[in-house]
Amino acid sequence: MESSTVIWSLISYFLIGLAYFAALAFALGMLGKLFGYLRTPMPWPEVTTPAPTTEGGAVLRVLGDVTLFPNLFKADKWLWVGAWLFHVGLAAILFRHLRYFTYPVPSLVLYMEPVALFFGYLFGAAALFLFWRRMALPRTLYISNIPDYIALALMGGIATTGILVSTWAKVYLVDVKAFVLGLLTFDPVMPPQHPLFVIHFTLVLLLLIYFPSSKLLHAGGILLSPSRNTPYQVQTPGKRHVNPWDKPLR
Amino acid sequence: MAKFDETPIIKDPAIEGILAPPALREHIASGVRCWPSKEKDTEKINLPASLVPDWQNKAIEKFAELLDKNQALRVYMDICVRCGACTDKCQFYLGTGDPQNFPVARAELMRKVYRRYFTTGGRNVPGLNDAADFDEEMLHQWYTYFYQCSECRRCSVFCPYGIDTAEITMAAREIMSSIGVSTKYVTEVVAKVYDTGNNLGIPAPAWIDNCQFLEEDIQEETGLPIRFPVDDYGADILLVPPSADNFANTDTMIAYGKLFYKLGIRWTTSTYCNEGGNFGLFLNYENLKKVNRRIIDAARMLNVKTILWGECGHAWRGAILTPTLNGPMDMFDPPYPYHIHQLLVKLLRQGVFKGQLDKSANDHYVVTYHDPCNTARAGQLLDEPREVLGYCVNNFIEMPRDTIRENTYCCGAGGGLLTDELMPIRMAGGKARALAVKHTQANFLSTICAICKAQLPDSMKYWDVPVEVGGVLQLFTNALKY
């Protein structure tokens, strides 16, 4: 047996093992965090006003936060531009990756194929801008810590290798899809023998493992911020906020 | 007080009253700290008097307890991405240049400890996860910087996730107070409430005296038999003013009297509870609840129909928590909790004062309005005071949009900071507000909070802004014809 074959089969087993481990770690980690957030009550109505006075209004407020980042827009226009493009690019890329997971591929995913790379570059450019801003502004440099750089480095590495396997050293789509579908159907096959793809895939798995214990939790946490998702109903009859752990005074 | 940026604001390059972020000067404000609490106070409010044995473990236990009791704290410990949107929004950073007064840096003091004791990564590899022990140095930082936060929530308005530093500061202070670390000012005030019913420690006879003195004074001045009833059993309304209105801001107290006289409403104050401002907010849940309970008890003792909260920011913050803290208020006439300006707006819209308001009585004033942080960002009272001013003032000018309504700057002394030893922080924190007032060239700064009314005259003088400070209700009763 050739030594390169041995190395590739070792890499394969490692990658397949890591994939299942990462999926499990991500799922359990996220469930644990989510359960922790949801079982914790809010002892008082914690609303930042002016606030909507109905549940529907509060839902709209959170939807607005998730899609348009209005608070960020108020706070810092350049940061808003960078952050919004970053997230739009990320969402488009994630959506486009459905072509590696699904069969048949949704037609919308295929329609966006001509502009797919544009979103890749957009995401990369926005990430670079945010990184530059973090380093260049004394205020953000002061508050940045190692986890901030870890998250940016992982994202940057994923974006770079992702763009490279789509342009400079193209990976064979059918191989990727066979590998991913194999993982998903618990019938793993060999990954494409393409070093850049292996790096790209490994970084994604590391990100998944890192996700539940990192600041990336803002992805779900934004829905659970009491100051934003609570309607102001202090004077609304029948809407008394009850604190479940409170005991009557002696 | 020469430590901070003393640039006179008139020469400031800032436009529209918005301060440009100053250069970073790390820990420049670290020397300004509150006096520690005294045993005579802490024993009355069920807190340890000094650092307890095994305080590190006790603090972490308390931290764990709060994480299980407060969803906001649990979520906000995890989701900050340190984007920096809040860094130039806190008036205490803008005034001092100390980056530890960035809302995010303040919260990170707590998050470092959270990560060290409550996350897998931080427990095992603290260096990689920016986690830190809760040691003496950290406790010192907590004591310094969580008492340079006025719990005003301005940062939460600019945070993409609405992370509310007030929740974090409140939790940090609760943890500290449980291990015997609290400030003299806050504990003294809470203890005074249990002794005398109010924050200033005015005993019942003095309160009654003050009210009689006011009655005589007004009789002489106006000839009207305006009364300030105390402990009037069976009155329609129990007014819960900040006690400072009876003592320092008597113009506001007189305004309550004039208003109720005009309306012919039978009202009263209570000597059991003549205070709305709840300093339990700055200490811990137990005292928050106990202090607030006194309002309900006083109302029941006097068998009033309903409770009305006066011009006080922290009182209104306590008021909106009342149904949660102290049970349903359905023994009182709705709506509840009810603010005096909400009542006033309702009456004005009904036309009760039609033809009886003479706006020109306030014509010697150019009036601007300072939103107290708690009425604006915690209590939804943004339009009511402005509507009242619209009925009683001809010359009204708003401060720049970034400094009013939900974007309002704290006066610089809320959240338990209105104490002399913090004067450098208070004046630095008041700079942003002073700049915005100066921009309007107004000569009357109206507001609806007793702490603002105590801080603003000092900070306006310090920053050389020639302006009179007073209540909205005071302007209203100026314009009222009898």
Domain range summary for chain B, segments of one domain joined by +: 48-181, 187-350, 359-479
State whether residue B164 sits within 8 Å of chain A by CB: yes
Nearest partner of B50 among B187, B172, B170, B144, judged by Cα: B187
State whether residue B157 sits within 8 Å of chain A by CB: yes
Cα dist from A101 to A55, A96, A125, A172, whole Å: 36, 10, 26, 15
* Residue among A65, A69, A147 minimizing CB distance to B129: A147
| Residue A228 to residue B162, Cβ atoms within 8 A | yes
How many other CB atoms sit within 10 Å of the CB of residue B60? 18
pLDDT tens digits, one per residue of A127-138: 999 999 999 999
Whether the predicted pLDDT of A37 surpasses 60: yes
Q: Which one-letter DSSP state was computed for residue B65? A: H
- Whether B403 and B434 have beta carbons less than 8 Å apart is answered as no
As a whole number, the mean pLDDT across chain A is 91
Residue A6, CA atoms < 13 Å, CB-side half-sphere: 3
Which pLDDT belongs to residue B3? 58
Q: Which residue of B has its CA nearest to A150?
A: B128
Per-residue b/e over A221-249, b at no fewer than 16 CB within 10 Å? bbbbbbbbbbbbbbbeeeeebebeebeee
The angle, 0 to 180 degrees and rounded to 10, between the axes of the packed helices B136-145 and B165-178 is: 130
Q: Is the link from the previous residue into B335 a cis peptide, with omega within 30 of 0?
A: yes
User: Which of B45, B73, B81, B108 is best to mutate for the A interface (most A CBs within 10 A)?
Assistant: B81
Sheet containing B338-339: give its strands across: B267-268, B237-240, B306-309, B338-339
- Whether B171 and B114 have beta carbons less than 8 Å apart is answered as no
Which pLDDT belongs to residue B9? 56
User: Which of B25, B79, B401 is best to mutate for the A interface (most A CBs within 10 A)?
Assistant: B79
| Residue A50 to residue B405, Cβ atoms within 8 A | yes
State whether residue B160 sits within 8 Å of chain A by CB: yes
Which pLDDT belongs to residue B2? 47
Q: Which residue of A has its CA nearest to B166?
A: A46
* Residue among A40, A143, A249 minimizing CB distance to B74: A40
Q: Which residue has the tokens 């291990």?
A: B179
User: In the structure encoding, which two tokens stand for residue B205, read together?
Assistant: 């006879």
Which pLDDT belongs to residue A3? 81
Whether the predicted pLDDT of A2 surpasses 80: no
Separation between Cα atoms, residue B398 and residue A142, nearest integer Å: 35
| Residue B160 to residue A83, Cβ atoms within 8 A | yes
Bridge partners of B469? B445
Q: What is the CATH number of domain A11-229?
A: 1.20.950.20
Q: What is the CATH number of domain B48-181?
A: 1.10.1060
| Residue A51 to residue B105, Cβ atoms within 8 A | no
Separation between Cα atoms, residue B71 and residue A245, nearest integer Å: 12
Cα dist from B104 to A145, A241, B77, B112, whole Å: 12, 29, 11, 12
Sort out which chain B residues have CB atoms less than 8 A from A239's CB and list them. none
Main-chain dihedrals φ then ψ at residue B151, nearest 5 degrees:
55, 40
pLDDT tens digits, one per residue of A150-197: 998 999 999 999 999 988 888 888 888 899 999 999 988 888 889 999
CB pairs under 8 A between A and B: 194
Nearest partner of B189 among B424, B451, B471, B453, judged by Cα: B451
Nearest partner of B449 among B393, B478, B410, B407, judged by Cα: B410
Sort out which chain B residues have CB atoms less than 8 A from A37's CB and list them. 71, 74-75
Sort out which chain A residues have CB atoms less than 8 A from B162's CB and list them. 48, 65, 71, 225, 227-228
Sort out which chain B residues have CB atoms less than 8 A from A241's CB and list them. 323-324
Q: Which residue has the tokens 């994604």?
A: A204
| Residue B160 to residue A222, Cβ atoms within 8 A | yes
State whether residue B285 sits within 8 Å of chain A by CB: yes
Mean pLDDT by runs of 10 across the 482 residues of chain B is 58 65 91 93 93 96 96 96 94 94 96 95 91 96 96 95 96 96 95 94 94 93 92 95 91 94 94 93 94 95 95 94 91 92 96 93 96 94 96 94 93 94 93 92 95 95 94 94 84
User: Which of A33, A39, A47, A49 is best to mutate for the B interface (most B CBs within 10 A)?
Assistant: A49
Second-level CATH architecture of B359-479: 3-Layer(aba) Sandwich (3.40)
* Residue among B81, B120, B127 minimizing CB distance to A213: B120
Sort out which chain B residues have CB atoms less than 8 A from A86's CB and list them. none
| Residue B320 to residue A45, Cβ atoms within 8 A | yes
Which pLDDT belongs to residue B8? 59
Nearest-Cα distance to chain B for A181, in Å, is 32
